[in-house]
């Protein structure tokens, strides 16, 4: 593994390996001293062309707990806002001596360009690009699902995950559909037809326009083991994707009544930040089934696993064994 750009690039064994490393990382995080020396002397640059406090601090915490030096480079107030190109920014980072670049960008494919255009030669981690991919989010979601539904080991064979909301504009949905399929889970997308991309019929999942059928375990895929709500941006309404917030909340929002109809073991997920009252009601967000806060904590472990695997240049299985050895020492 040279870069992490696309959840679809991961094989089943690579994905399970990364989740295993993340489990090992998570165990170290329950120690009193959380910091590991693994990446001492290396520099990780967080290159954020789009605002995202949550993802940036998660990557920052992950890198620092591995003893890497962290440079945060955000577009606002930097030369990027003065019109500097992605290429020049990349070459500046190379000159500074970055050992890995974590990039968030509003343009789909920008991390892919950074990794492959010949501008820099460091590992690139995609921290979310446009409406394309957010692979570490998919990994942390899989990690959370695996803990709840598969005792924290192996894959997600036979589990059923329902994703609800703005699939069209969602990099989280694209990454999750691919990774969950790779891990053996079944996925159902639920959305109004306006918020599904033309071409979704080729994806490795089922599609439904009706949330109640999905919640009740009707066709096509049966009862859900997890429901993942996607953030809906309010400006979608003004572009005519749906008529009103209230209509969206009624038809596609996860409220108390729908949560109560889910199977007892099913969990409720959301990548955050949530629009309470739009795609998820306050009761659903705060219910004991909700894993929203847990997902944030898991995000740090997963990102530690990704940075460690890329920068230590190991395959994930070997990396997991190494980390476990430091635990027992």
Partner 1 sequence: MTRYLLRSVAPLGAERTDLLLGDGVILAVGADAREAAGRDAVVVDGDGLVALPGLVDLHTHLREPGREDTETVRSGTRAAAAGGFTAVHAMANTDPVADTAGVVEQVWRLGRDAGYADVRPVGAVTIGLAGERLAELGAMATSAARVRVFSDDGKCVWDPVLMRRALEYTRAFDGVVAQHAQEPRLTQGSQMHEGAVSAEIGLAGWPAVAEEAIIARDVLLAEHVGGRLHVQHLSTAGSVEIVRWAKARGIRVTAEATPHHLLLTDELARTYDPVFKVNPPLRTAEDVEAVRAGLADGTIDVVATDHAPHAAQDKDCEWSAAAFGMTGLETALSVVQHVMVDDGPFGWADVARVLSVTPAAIGGVTDHGRPLEAGEPASLVLVDPAARTVVDPAAQATASRNSPFAGRELPGAVRWTFLRGHATLADGVLTEADR
18-26, 110-118, 247-255, 316-324 -> range binding partner 1 (CB under 8 A) = 110-118
Residue 29 marked as a ligand binder:
no
**Residue 92 engages partner 1 in binding (rule: CB under 8 A):** no
The nearer residue to partner 1, 235 or 264, going by C-beta atoms, is: 235
297-316 binders of partner 1 (CB under 8 A):
none
Rounded to 5 degrees, what angle do the CA atoms 284, 263, 245 make? 35
**Residue 94 engages partner 1 in binding (rule: CB under 8 A):** no
53-61, 81-89, 148-156, 183-191 -> range binding partner 1 (CB under 8 A) = 81-89
Residue 231 marked as a ligand binder:
yes
Residue 54 marked as a ligand binder:
yes
Return phi, psi of residue 22, to 5°.
-60, -40
Which one of 3, 65, 112, 231 is in contact with partner 1 (CB under 8 A)? 112
Q: Find the shortest distance in angstroms from Cβ 104 to partner 1.
A: 13
**Residue 131 engages partner 1 in binding (rule: CB under 8 A):** yes
19-27, 131-139, 266-274, 299-307 -> range binding partner 1 (CB under 8 A) = 131-139
The nearer residue to partner 1, 206 or 255, going by C-beta atoms, is: 206
- Distance between CA 209 and CA 130 in Å, rounded? 24
**Residue 197 engages partner 1 in binding (rule: CB under 8 A):** yes
Q: Find the shortest distance in angstroms from Cβ 314 to partner 1.
A: 28
Which one of 3, 105, 258, 289 is in contact with partner 1 (CB under 8 A)? 105
Residue 82 marked as a ligand binder:
yes
Residues placed in the known binding site for carbamoyl phosphate: 54-55, 104, 134, 137, 272-273
Q: Which residues contact partner 1 by CB under 8 A? A: 85-87, 105, 107-110, 112-113, 116-117, 129-133, 171, 174, 197-200, 202-203
Residues placed in the known binding site for L-aspartate: 82, 171, 231
Residues placed in the known binding site: 54-55, 82, 104, 134, 137, 171, 231, 272-273
């Amino acid at each position: 593994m040279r870069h992490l750009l696309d959840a679809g690039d991961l094989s089943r064994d690579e994905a399970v390996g990364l989740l295993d490393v993340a489990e090992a990382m998570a165990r170290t995080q329950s120690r009193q001293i959380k910091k590991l020396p693994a990446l001492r002397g290396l520099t990780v640059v967080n290159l954020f062309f789009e605002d995202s406090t949550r993802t940036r601090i998660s990557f920052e915490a992950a890198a620092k707990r591995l003893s890497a030096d962290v440079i945060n480079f955000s577009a606002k107030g930097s030369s990027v806002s003065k019109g500097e190109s992605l290429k020049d920014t990349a070459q500046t980072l190379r000159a500074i001596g970055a050992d890995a670049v974590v990039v968030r960008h509003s343009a789909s494919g920008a991390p892919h360009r950074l990794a492959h255009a010949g501008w820099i030669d460091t590992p690139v981690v995609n921290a979310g690009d446009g409406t394309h991919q957010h692979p570490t989010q998919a990994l942390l979601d899989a990690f959370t699902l695996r803990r709840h539904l598969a005792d924290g080991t192996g894959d997600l064979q036979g589990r059923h995950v329902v994703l609800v909301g703005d699939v069209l504009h969602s990099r989280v949905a694209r990454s999750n559909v691919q990774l969950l399929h790779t891990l053996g889970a079944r996925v159902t997308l639920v959305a109004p037809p306006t918020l599904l991309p033309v071409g979704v019929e080729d994806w490795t999942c089922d599609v439904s326009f009706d949330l109640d059928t999905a919640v009740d375990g009707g066709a096509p895929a049966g009862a859900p083991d997890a429901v993942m709500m996607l953030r809906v941006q309010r400006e979608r309404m003004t572009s005519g994707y749906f008529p009103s917030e209230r209509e969206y909340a009624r038809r596609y929002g996860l409220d108390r009544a729908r949560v109560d109809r889910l199977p007892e073991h099913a969990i409720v997920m959301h990548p955050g930040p949530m629009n309470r009252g739009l795609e998820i009601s306050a009761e659903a967000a705060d219910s004991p089934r909700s894993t929203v806060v847990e997902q944030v904590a898991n995000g740090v472990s997963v990102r530690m696993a990704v940075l460690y695997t890329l920068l230590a240049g190991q395959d994930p299985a070997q990396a997991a064994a190494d980390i476990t050895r430091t635990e027992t020492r």
